[in-house]
Amino acid sequence: MLFTRNTIFALLCRYRGKMYVSAEDKRSYQWVSLLPDEEEPLRQNMVYVCRLSEALRHNRESDCLFVCIYDRFLSEEEREDEQLLRNIIIIEENRSLSWVLNLIQDRFYELEAWGTGCGRS
């Protein structure tokens, strides 16, 4: 089952944060994962959970969706750089990476179970 960005938006909208994702982005995502080691290639159909500094480092060379927690502040120049921030969702809560990952995974599991249950009917 594939999940849209709206699934992620609906889940995260109740938490403080900023979303730098284009309304024209119609991609679907297969799963959510912690950002892998630098040697592994990033997949566009994955949602990656990481620290903001890691997302900024990878974002210029990839077209992935990153859900981040703050580990640094953005400079004025960075806040105005749309290309740097594209496809990044920042959670401005005092949360851990594992909490964010589990939150999104649990929602994906719920939707997948619902989709599987509907297929049996």
Q: What is the pLDDT of residue 41?
A: 87
Residue 20 token pair: 């730098």
Average pLDDT over all residues of the chain: 88
Q: What is the pLDDT of residue 120?
A: 58
**Total-model pTM:** 0.87
**Using one digit for the tens of pLDDT, what is the confidence trace for 27-43?**
889 889 999 977 788 98
Q: Could you please report the per-residue DSSP string of 38-49? A: TTSPP-TTEEEE
Give the chain's end-to-end CA distance (angstroms, integer). Answer: 17
pLDDT above 70: percentage of residues in the chain: 94
Nearest residue to 33 (alpha-carbon basis) of 44, 24, 46, 43: 46
Cα(15)–Cα(28) distance, integer angstroms = 22
Q: What is the pLDDT of residue 14?
A: 92
Can you list the residues of the chain whose pLDDT is less than 70? 115-121
**All domains in the chain, ordered by first residue:** 3-114 (3.40.1390)
Amino acid at 88: I
Cα(59)–Cα(79) distance, integer angstroms = 14
Q: What is the pLDDT of residue 95?
A: 92
